[in-house]
Structure 1
């Protein structure tokens, strides 16, 4: 970079900082100064900050978007008062339900923060356990979609059609790999910055540990001594859950090497935002022009990760399993979730039409486009007719496919691995959306609660809260 070009770019960055600061309130300016102080101290002083690399996981939610803008202001503020500033790695987990509108919104935010031409900023995206440069125009990976579809179906069947687990668990499990991957990739980073509360972090960690325990994964009683070790354990727990999910059919992804920085620091900013209403802050709504996409599969809302698809599944559940109408199932869900959907800025017209025919068509199209699943396969998932040696198979056929009752003995044979007509095998594959070896794995699978029991779960949840609080410095 020539001296003239560098001078011109520095002028541009100063303009970006001035525009950023114009959207800060007094409380936000105070929060910014405290964040700068935390980064400089973590780096070992202002003379070391130029060699310091900071990671933020950015999924497009309000908190991570706001935190990202705050980090950019800190980066440019330090650049204005010191020869060098810290480097920033921004990493996004691209999951099956992430819409093109969300990716476009991420890119618009990056443009507003002038990231793309800044060599001090690294924009990454992880899809199907592969790290790649962020590109909002890159089509979704067909292989990644197939993997997500398979994971969603397997989780749905093995949780007996639990709607929340079906929609949440795969994305939550993917986070275990994601944090390890982006914190160690290409030499690693020195610190991770997050605006999430300690409570939210501990809830996720406790959930992952419970899932690992239920999958029979050995969970060490002692907490990790560093954030690096915690991420490595999260990856191990996630891998153990997938191994239990697929059994002998599991194919493990390439394991990661360890990053160059042994002691990954945690820089939390949640306490700095106590006096800031993030959702209505000008920094978010005006500078970044943040607009949440109601159709995005947003795992930061674990109770209602995807209201459109959740409403659809509740409608199908009511229609097929509870002797109610599709509309009654959707309406019951909407009554429960209306406040949450309002906060997520889902249009009231869309909420009102969810239980009608137009809403059902929209939901069906969405499930097919993003997950490759039709109504029949979703209904099959809700029944979960193959687990426990097909104990629910007859009831499923009687309710949904009465014409296939005559073939019940042959279907059992196919699921047991015995030779049957190709036509019956193909019917099982088409109806479930899963290949025959996985259906046979489900057939043999007997879902059991961990022998450690609920008391052990509670104790692990308490340990998780203490652990994340210590690692985050709170």
Structure 2
């Protein structure tokens, strides 16, 4: 790592490590802190370590507690050569375990989830991860540019993984980008420029062509130091939780919380909601049982855990979490509580998103109303007129209020969805837009056998998740 530091005096160099509060980033943070202290012991001075946490609404309180315990165990808060920061959108602030997430970030996360979810029939990865991933990339730019910038970013990805991700972003930009004028930038600045291009295309597509101000607030920062380099610790440390159990649990005080530790994630509650949505889909769309849908998702997600080489004790803990009726009911209640607390959404709003009734000029509206809101089926024509703006919203304020309550979105958002293209077919992801292309390149998906009706024939469906 020292060979990558460009400045002659060690203390003038700033090394950035992203700390999301999960088990993998905990290894990275501990590794960087150990190197920093060893350098100081050998040379009497050392580089500055900047640790940054990008926050989002699906990050449970337990994650912040894990971060706080790790910082204290590593004695980061009291070391002037360390800075622990939070990034809320584009705002950088010192880490405080009780710091309330900024209200604009909460509102933005909720809108992004609902607008993407309605466009994709609540397919897990795009619904929960697309906007979050772009936000994470932006946080790298924000943190790397903050207060004079940084010299090195430490990553746990191998050089091959970094290159594959860079090429994937290049391909997406080439096919779906805005094709701006050629850039003279190279390296990480160029990567961030391309990510910014994709962010603008993505959010314009999701939020609508009249959403320039909202798209601007979701752009990716790319004004980082040109000499910035990356250093991979992939060859120097393994991410196996079994091998680092003592470090995680006994030294860093890491707790695998029931909500924060969700299948392959140990810093996000979204996979719990992904499993919940699969249960609701089977219960409400396929008219089977919630438990059957949950079992389909659990089987898929446990397979992801094995592919990522999770220790058997954690896989068994996850299996037991959904093992019987009492456990399933408890997790359903916990998922509903989290959806309300994090996104102000109840089951009615989640089910509406699963039906995706509004895109494609209300292509799925009648089916949704017949199945879930039969008292509104008789006024389907009025709803179409309202969303098509051939009726004034003031004509039936009660109807507007009802639609907003069912969907979780205001009337103008619903009209944007109404003008947006519908998905081509549930479980296919064959649409030729950026949302479909992102999912097509995502490894966190699989084809599973399922039934779309009780006792119906076995069909194969593509699902995604974490």
Q: For residues 236 and 254 of structure 1, what CA distance do their matches in structure 2 show?
A: 11
Contact persistence 1:214–1:450 (CA under 8 A): no
Query: Secondary structure at the residue paired with 1:434?
Result: coil
Could you list the per-position Cα deviations for residues 64-103 of structure 1 after superposition, in whole angstroms to 9, with x for gaps in the alignment? 1111111111111111222421011101111111111110
Is 1:283 the equivalent of 2:255? no
Query: Secondary structure at the residue paired with 1:385?
Result: coil
Q: Which residue of 1 aligns with 2:292?
A: 328
Query: Secondary structure at the residue paired with 2:405?
Result: helix
Contact persistence 2:125–2:439 (CA under 8 A): no
**Number of residue pairs the alignment of both structures matches:** 419
Alignment match of 2:420 (pick from 441, 445, 468): 445
Q: For residues 19 and 402 of structure 2, what CA distance do their matches in structure 1 show?
A: 41
Unaligned runs of 5+ in 2: 424-430, 443-466
Could you list the per-position Cα deviations for residues 35-64 of structure 1 after superposition, in whole angstroms to 9, with x for gaps in the alignment? xxxx3211247x432211010111122221
TM-score normalized by structure 1?
0.79
Contact persistence 1:315–1:327 (CA under 8 A): yes
Contact persistence 2:86–2:94 (CA under 8 A): yes
Contact persistence 1:389–1:443 (CA under 8 A): yes
Query: Secondary structure at the residue paired with 2:105?
Result: helix
Q: 1:305 to 1:205 in 2, by over 3 A?
A: farther
Deviation of residue 207 (structure 1)? Answer: 6.2
Q: 1:278 to 1:258 in 2, by over 3 A?
A: same
Q: Which residue of 2 aligns with 1:42?
A: 4
Alignment match of 1:352 (pick from 320, 323, 340): 323
Contact persistence 2:302–2:315 (CA under 8 A): no
Could you list the per-position Cα deviations for residues 115-138 of structure 1 after superposition, in whole angstroms to 9, with x for gaps in the alignment? 112121111111233221111111
Q: Which residue of 2 aligns with 1:295?
A: 259
Is 1:228 the equivalent of 2:189? yes
Give the structure with higher Rg (CA): 1
Contact persistence 1:213–1:450 (CA under 8 A): no
Alignment match of 2:158 (pick from 194, 197, 200): 197
Q: For residues 382 and 97 of structure 1, what CA distance do their matches in structure 2 show?
A: 19
Alignment match of 1:157 (pick from 105, 109, 118): 118
Q: 1:67 to 1:254 in 2, by over 3 A?
A: closer
Q: Which residue of 1 aligns with 2:200?
A: 239
Q: For residues 413 and 209 of structure 1, what CA distance do their matches in structure 2 show?
A: 42
Q: 1:262 to 1:452 in 2, by over 3 A?
A: closer
Query: Secondary structure at the residue paired with 1:117?
Result: coil
Structure with higher helix content: 1
Deviation of residue 311 (structure 1)? Answer: 1.7
Q: 1:457 to 1:74 in 2, by over 3 A?
A: same
Alignment match of 1:73 (pick from 21, 27, 34): 34
Query: Secondary structure at the residue paired with 1:69?
Result: helix
Q: Which residue of 2 aligns with 1:171?
A: 132
Contact persistence 1:168–1:299 (CA under 8 A): no
Equivalences for residues 18-417 of structure 1 within 5 A: 39-44=1-6, 47-198=8-159, 200-201=161-162, 205=166, 217-218=178-179, 225-247=186-208, 248-250=210-212, 251=214, 252-253=216-217, 259=223, 261-273=225-237, 277=240, 279-281=242-244, 282-296=246-260, 301=265, 306-338=270-302, 340=305, 343=314, 346=317, 348-353=319-324, 356-417=328-389
Deviation of residue 255 (structure 1)? Answer: 6.6
Contact persistence 2:173–2:198 (CA under 8 A): yes
Q: 1:246 to 1:258 in 2, by over 3 A?
A: closer
Q: 1:88 to 1:239 in 2, by over 3 A?
A: farther
Query: Secondary structure at the residue paired with 1:352?
Result: coil
Deviation of residue 222 (structure 1)? Answer: 9.3
Q: For residues 437 and 125 of structure 2, what CA distance do their matches in structure 1 show?
A: 23
Q: Which residue of 1 aligns with 2:401?
A: 426
Deviation of residue 317 (structure 1)? Answer: 0.5
Q: For residues 93 and 162 of structure 2, what CA distance do their matches in structure 1 show?
A: 26
Query: Secondary structure at the residue paired with 2:217?
Result: coil
Could you list the per-position Cα deviations for residues 163-183 of structure 1 after superposition, in whole angstroms to 9, with x for gaps in the alignment? 222122221121231111111
TM-score normalized by structure 2?
0.80
Deviation of residue 224 (structure 1)? Answer: 6.1
Q: 1:455 to 1:101 in 2, by over 3 A?
A: closer
CA RMSD of aligned residues (A): 3.4
